[in-house]
Chains A and B, each alone.
Chain A
Amino acid sequence: DEPAGDGVWLLVYFVHRYLDFRRPEFESAARACGWPGAVEWRLPPWVDADAPGADKSPLWLVRAPSEELAARVVRRAILAKALLCPWGHGADLASCCDAVRAALADDTTKQTLRVAHYTSAQRAFKVQVEAFGAKLSMEQQLVRVNAFSFVPFEGSVSMRAPDDIFWCVEVGGEGANPSDERVKVPPGVVFARQVAVGPRQELLGKLDLKRRPYLGPTSMDHEMALIMANMGCCRPGTLTLDPFVGTGSVLVAAAALGAVCMGGDMDIRVVRDGKKGKNVFTNFEHYGMDAPCLLRADASAMPWRAGLRGVFDSIVCDPPYGIRAGGRKSGGRRYNERPYEIPKEKRKDHIASTSPYSLGECIADLLDNAAAMLRPGGRLVYFLPAVIEAYSDDLLPRHPSLDVVANTEQNLTMSYQRRLVTMERKGEGAEGGAGAADAARAARARTIAA
């Protein structure tokens, strides 16, 4: 039951957070790294796929085209703790040891795992014990390390600077607190070589909101912003737009993944003026990131030049829905019974009034803007608020030029949730290309006019 055809089955060890987002985030990161085709997942063999909690498993096998490519993916997937190359796994410690013994006894498997290389005298190593949903004492950890003493390591142990780190990951075993939500997953033990670690330590520490110079009440949490930027496949050489940039949290994450950033906001005070001499630019400077392109503009009527199409690789945003910050669009007093005309002498520093911007309108404009301004294959990532009871996939806004590629939920209260929707711009040749987008927009304009 091992890898058929090309590739190698590696184990992704996820953190127990944003469970719904873990595999989609990895898949998007994979796409950003040039992963060929779809990502193929498999639960570890000791997990019965129909067992309750199976999909919450922190460990997932992925068929990787190469170790090197999978390592690059894991290094940017914020919900991945580590990428491991399993040497054996089982439902408990004893069966895991048996599996490793069997692997070491089989010449082909030994060669595939490069056992001779990783156990050679030249390589210093250490074994690290991980108990998922449990805390193990030093003694308990030693029992596990010693259980694998039959592995013929010839190199020395180095706790500080090992060449290789071997992980013994135990899920829901001894010491697990049965009331802990995390242990409601099928138990198991894995012995594996570390291929790569995720970027959590480096990026979450660096981008921590608590240490950011300029913040607002709606600044996106840095972990979620990184998930969003990954869903948008932000990477070096690409251009990302956030039309509701606010204090810039989403763009900071996009820039952390290497994208060139552009942000628009209706409210000049938030973007340019900021607070106490600190603004969006200050945040980027603080992290040593390039200044983003910023402009004051109305997301319902972006000031793009005629004929500009397909310029962005991703549009990533958290639109203002009126829960914490209400949506506004330009027009304002224009819609009064007697439209307001601005006297000539007051035009220069005039602050235009705005009118409320409904959720439906806001999303329709966002989708239209994305259809026109994303390159084929480019991605729109945005949050959609929903009432848990009332939500169904039929209610998800659609667009003829955009395919839904992911739709993950995060419950905020017992009755409200927000959904992170990821859509992909269809190719030019595909049905529903630019022509269909323009037609849809024209049809809507006619409906609104009527």
Chain B
Amino acid sequence: MKLLTHNMLQCHVKGVRNGYPLRIEAQQDGGRFEVEVREAEFSADFLRHILPRLDWAALLEAAKALGEVAVGLPDAPPTDAMMHDDAFLQTFHRILLEVTVVEGELVCPESERRFAVKNAVPNMLLHEDEV
């Protein structure tokens, strides 16, 4: 799961009022938490295009949860000047599109419902009694 995906997802369990953003955590039992950097083609156009549609605070929080592999984002959304600065764009690209959560869990901030991420695919499907 790339952080771009994480930025778009929330917990939709019936009755949950604020299921966003999902916390990224290690799996409860085995404690497995794996993050990889999977190379992706850099496109400054794509980054500039997607920026206005991102929730910056959620991206920042997710990056912090992943630790060293995802450091370098500013606290406030990047300025126009930064979006034309190659060094910054490279960092932004890596964190949004290359850093991949391979194993872990996504946790709803309100209900603590846990969604598993396995082999880089989050399972967002709800149980019968949650819809």
Q: Which residues of A contact B (CB under 8 A)?
A: 236-239, 260, 262, 266, 268, 271-273, 279, 281, 290-291, 293-298, 301, 303-306, 308, 310-311, 330-334, 339-342, 347-348, 350, 352-353
From the candidates A262, A271, A339, name the one contacting B129 in the complex (CB within 8 A): A339
CB distance from B114 to the nearest CB of A (A): 8
Report yes or no: B125 in contact with A296, Cβ–Cβ below 8 A.
yes
B104: Cβ under 8 A from any A Cβ:
no
B23: Cβ under 8 A from any A Cβ:
no
Question: Residue of A at shortest CB range from B49?
Answer: A237
CB distance from A333 to the nearest CB of B (A): 5
Cβ of A311: which chain B residues have Cβ within 8 Å of it?
A: 8, 50, 53
Cβ of A271: which chain B residues have Cβ within 8 Å of it?
A: 121
From the candidates A236, A310, A352, name the one contacting B127 in the complex (CB within 8 A): A352
Identify 27 residue pairs between A and B in the complex whose beta-carbon atoms are under 8 Å apart, listed by A's number. Answer: A236-B43, A238-B46, A239-B50, A268-B121, A271-B121, A294-B120, A295-B9, A295-B123, A296-B122, A296-B124, A301-B126, A303-B10, A303-B11, A305-B21, A305-B55, A306-B10, A308-B8, A311-B8, A311-B53, A330-B125, A330-B126, A330-B128, A333-B128, A334-B129, A340-B129, A342-B128, A352-B128
Cβ of B88: which chain A residues have Cβ within 8 Å of it?
A: none
Cβ of A341: which chain B residues have Cβ within 8 Å of it?
A: 129
Question: Residue of B at shortest CB range from A336?
Answer: B128
Report yes or no: A301 in contact with B1, Cβ–Cβ below 8 A.
no
Report yes or no: B129 in contact with A236, Cβ–Cβ below 8 A.
no
Q: A304-B9, A310-B53 are in contact. Are A342 and B127 (CB under 8 A)?
A: yes
From the candidates B2, B11, B38, B131, name the one contacting A301 in the complex (CB within 8 A): B131
Cβ of A340: which chain B residues have Cβ within 8 Å of it?
A: 128-129
Cβ of A239: which chain B residues have Cβ within 8 Å of it?
A: 46, 49-50
Interface residues on B, range: 35 or more
Q: A237-B46, A330-B131 are in contact. Are A295 and B124 (CB under 8 A)?
A: yes
Main SS of chain A's interface residues? Answer: loop
Q: How far is the CA of A216 from the CA of B38 in the complex (A)?
A: 26
Report yes or no: A290 in contact with B129, Cβ–Cβ below 8 A.
no
Question: Residue of A at shortest CB range from B121?
Answer: A272
Q: How far is the CA of A268 from the CA of B122 in the complex (A)?
A: 10
Q: A272-B121, A290-B40, A352-B126 are in contact. List 18 more A-B contacts (CB 8 A).
A: A236-B43, A237-B45, A262-B4, A268-B123, A268-B125, A291-B40, A296-B124, A301-B12, A301-B131, A303-B11, A303-B12, A303-B124, A305-B8, A306-B10, A308-B8, A311-B53, A339-B129, A342-B128
Q: How far is the CA of A298 from the CA of B10 in the complex (A)?
A: 13
Report yes or no: A293 in contact with B4, Cβ–Cβ below 8 A.
yes
Q: How far is the CA of A342 from the CA of B125 in the complex (A)?
A: 14
Report yes or no: B128 in contact with A293, Cβ–Cβ below 8 A.
no
Report yes or no: A291 in contact with B9, Cβ–Cβ below 8 A.
no
From the candidates B1, B40, B53, B125, name the one contacting A352 in the complex (CB within 8 A): B125
Report yes or no: B10 in contact with A305, Cβ–Cβ below 8 A.
yes
Q: How far is the CA of A341 from the CA of B129 in the complex (A)?
A: 6
Question: Residue of B at shortest CB range from A308?
Answer: B8
Q: How far is the CA of A303 from the CA of B20 in the complex (A)?
A: 11
Question: Residue of B at shortest CB range from A313?
Answer: B49
From the candidates B4, B124, B129, name the one contacting A342 in the complex (CB within 8 A): B129
CB distance from A292 to the nearest CB of B (A): 9
From the candidates B40, B53, B120, B131, name the one contacting A308 in the complex (CB within 8 A): B53
Cβ of B91: which chain A residues have Cβ within 8 Å of it?
A: none
Report yes or no: B20 in contact with A296, Cβ–Cβ below 8 A.
no
Flag B43-75 by CB within 8 Å of A: 1 or 0 each.
101100110010100000000000000000000
Question: Residue of B at shortest CB range from A266?
Answer: B125
B24: Cβ under 8 A from any A Cβ:
no
Q: A238-B49, A260-B46 are in contact. Are A291 and B126 (CB under 8 A)?
A: no
Q: How far is the CA of A375 from the CA of B97 in the complex (A)?
A: 20
